[in-house]
Chains A and B, each alone.
Chain A
Amino acid sequence: MSEKFGVKVEDIFNTMQERFRPEGAAGVDASFGYDIPGRGKWRLTVKDGTMKIEQADDLSGCVAVTRADPDTFVGVNIGKVDGTAAFTSGKISVEGDVGAVSTTFKLFKRFTPPKKELTVGEYILDMFGTLESRFQPQAAEGLDITIGYDIGGREGGRWTARIKDGKCTVKEGLALSPNLTMIVKAKDWVDLMLGEVDAMTLLSTGRAKVEGDMNLAVKLGELFAKYKAPGEEAEEGQQLLVLKKVISVGQRFATGPVMGKYLNGLKEKKILANKCPECGRTQVPPREICALCRVRCEEWVEVGPKGNVRLVDTAYYASPDPLSGETRETPYGLCYILLDGCKGQEVFAHFIRDDQLERIEMGWNEKKGTIVRPVWAEKRTGRVSDIKYFEIDE
């Protein structure tokens, strides 16, 4: 297996027969050898518009023997590595009649890797494996720069692309002080490269960060040709365009005196409720009028901060956060908490700490649920998110 491109050397040889073009073989009568160190040797015999490919230990009698490492050999065959460049740089060598080898190029249709769904990790490897070959030297004239890629997440990694004298070399690891560093999660990077999401969306929602020379970041699109997934370049048919954007609409929320007092209380780590003068129930968050008695509630009490859980909802589908357009990770837990000082149905809804979701027990009637306490945000600005979430009080 050529790790880099996900295609086996054997696949190239095994599909030669079906990729054979008799019209390209007119007038060719010769044997060609292939020596792929670590993988084996093959002999291709072409005669009278037919061909035969076989594994062979002895390549004597071939007009030319092509030698290449598995990655380069596969890369050239699937069109990911430029054959001429590989030849001039010595990654491919030919023993014998170099001119004869060029006749073999016309013999076969391009190898198309079977299309399969790649995992994020496989995409990441392929994307950085092909970065050098996608480099556009004409756009890099006079450039002497280092670009760092800090791809986060379990399937991520770190790479550095060095561009100098119209050449690009990609190495694993992050250079000390790159001119430009891109910091993004693996999944987002794959989506970006596949055109599923645009850079502006990632940057504006904070899912991607660029450190260093922003002008250079804008130029990246010119420095590297667009990434194509394995098998995509040979696919027939037209490209269909979908424009994906996030529209951002400014909005203002006037709290009014009651919600304002409640939100200001959160700033001071206080959960305030108001109490109905008729039925005595508390409302949190407070409303100006008791929803049952239809009378104005003007008495304030501090409740909580601890409480017991009455109900937990586990959300497996999250709609995008209206403030960022970002979709939170699922599953997450939404719990209804009866804060100390509240009774009956006077529950307060908030998030539960993700990793404790399974340990929460619900209460009913006289039975108490798990006791939880709020975890406050360090910087509180008078929003419900001043409480980050609730966690088990232990």
Chain B
Amino acid sequence: MKDGFDTTDCFVVEGKLALPYSYFAGRVGSKFLTTIRDEKRIMGIKCDKCKKVFVPPRQTCDVCMEDIRDNWVDVQNTGEVTNFTVVRYNDKHLPKKAPYILAMIKLDGADTSLVHVVEGMDVGKAKIGMKVQAVFARETTSTILDIDHFAPVS
């Protein structure tokens, strides 16, 4: 057969592949999310040994390897941007319309950063160290988007 074979009958089938999946948030993750959803309150877990407060919470301290799953503490709804990027493309799995700021936010009272969206400001003006505050979603979905976004505090 020649290089250029007969392509009369060639065509492309456009389809989509649907992948059903489920993600279990775990006991610690579930409590973190349901408290945000039901009480508009953000909680972390503190390691008794090294005194580090984890937000998002985890059941084992990654430094001491201690089981810390029951040491819930409250943290503030305000915090500081420790790093950020600007998302400049749209995709259906993304939570917001581009461009938006995706930031690591260290809440007051926490020692680790939470990744979330910062809205309510020009994306070009984002700065490391700026203060932000959680804005809770009116309609809840039992996901981390029950904090709709963080807004800058002037």
Contacts and interface: CB of A to CB of B under 8 A. Distances in A.
Interface of A: 195, 201, 205, 218, 221-222, 238-258, 260-261, 263-264, 296, 320-326, 382-383
What 7 pairs across the A-B complex have the smallest Cβ distances? A325-B18, A260-B9, A261-B9, A241-B25, A253-B13, A241-B30, A243-B23
B136 to A, nearest CB: 14
Contact of A255 (B5, B13, B19): B13
A191 B90 CA distance: 31
Contact of B17 (A240, A256, A323): A323
A117 to B, nearest CB: 21
A222 B139 contact: yes
Contacts of A321: 18
Interface range, B side: 35 or more
Given A240-B30, A252-B15, 7 more contacts: A240-B26, A241-B142, A249-B19, A250-B14, A252-B14, A255-B9, A257-B6
B16 A248 contact: yes
Nearest to A195: B142
Interface in B105-119: none
A244 B24 CA distance: 9
Nearest to B22: A244
B75 to A, nearest CB: 19
B73 to A, nearest CB: 17
Contacts of A251: 14-17
Contacts of A260: 9-11
Nearest to A382: B11
Nearest to A254: B12
A240 B25 contact: yes
A341 B87 CA distance: 59
B60 interface: no
